[in-house]
Amino acid sequence: MLVIEDNIDAADSLREVLAFGEHEVEVGAQRPGRHCQGRELRPEIVLCDLGLPGMDGYEVARALRADESLKDVCLVALSGHTLPEDLQRASEAGFQRHLAKPPSLEKLEALLAEIP
């Protein structure tokens, strides 16, 4: 699993919670082009903040979807924006799921249980 989050404290907390649930988790580098790490790691799941500086989460999703080697990755948007139009925009960018920030452990585990 790859977590792409510009708030390092939030990213580390998310990694710790997921690792506690016995998931292998990497945190994306804090730089433009962070989607490139997906090619290197080949994650099954990418949890991506939408409000990233520079290349936002929507652009990251489109870049990942354009990469043939990452076509099967499950993209999960992390955002404080959860209005219907926010969910639609995330879906159009290539996200399959959407979690409100901060996600609870229960919601994270339920979401991960749904993903094949």
Provide the pLDDT for residue 8. Answer: 87
At 93, is the pLDDT very low, low, confident or very high (cuts 50, 70, 90)? very high
Position 54 in a domain: yes
Residue type, 111: L
Position 9 in a domain: yes
Cβ neighbour number for residue 8 with a 10 Å cutoff: 10
Residue 82 contacts residue 98 (beta carbons within 8 Å): yes
What is the pTM (predicted TM-score) of this model? 0.87
Position 116 in a domain: no
User: For the chain, what is the domain count?
Assistant: 1
At 89, is the pLDDT very low, low, confident or very high (cuts 50, 70, 90)? very high
Position 35 in a domain: yes
Which domain, by its residues, includes 64? 2-110
Q: What is the pLDDT of residues 12-42, one digit of tens each?
A: 888 888 887 777 888 875 555 555 555 667 8
Token digits of residue 104: 């609870």
User: Chain-wide mean pLDDT for the chain?
Assistant: 85
Position 115 in a domain: no
The CATH number given to whatever domain includes residue 31 is 3.40.50.2300
Position 94 in a domain: yes
